[in-house]
Amino acid sequence: MNRLYLILLSLLFSCVAFSQNNNIEHPLDAEYQKCLQEDVGNLGERRCHSKFEKKWDEELNHIYNGLIELIEMHMDPIHGDFAVDSTTLTNLKIAQREWIKYRDDEFQLIGKIYDRKGSMYYTLASRRRMSVVRQRALELMYYSNSFR
């Protein structure tokens, strides 16, 4: 019984930790909401999701490159206690490569799960894809903010 309680408790904490990024307001979120208001219906929603999946991917890459620069800058010993070693940069690059594999697998899964008849499922799939990319961009933004 205690083991089950610990498992449930750890799941709760991990859900809370991951949900924090969903509460972050980013300028792209306001643009996305505006797009949804202007381009109504399932097809309009899918267009917005596709458009903002690309925008979030661009933002993700921008944040990732900036994070690399921040880490490289903080590898200089002049940062004292705030200095990081080269493994931090290596870990980021490995994590990003692994995330890309995860993203690709997740997109395949999304495609299979929502591969049903009806426009609603295409809309759900496109929103889910956008959300996966948005989540990673916000995670990298969180890491970047840790250096400021």
User: DSSP string of 71-86?
Assistant: HHHHTSGGGGGG---H
Q: Is the pLDDT of residue 139 over 80?
A: yes
What are the tens digits of pLDDT across the range 82-124?
A: 788 899 999 999 999 999 999 999 999 999 999 887 888 999 9
132 or 15: which carries more pLDDT confidence? 132
**pLDDT for res 36:** 93
For the segment 4-25, what is each residue's pLDDT rounded down to a tens digit? Answer: 333 433 444 444 344 445 567 8
pLDDT tens digits for 53-77?
Answer: 999 999 999 999 999 999 999 888 8
Q: What is the pLDDT of residue 22?
A: 54
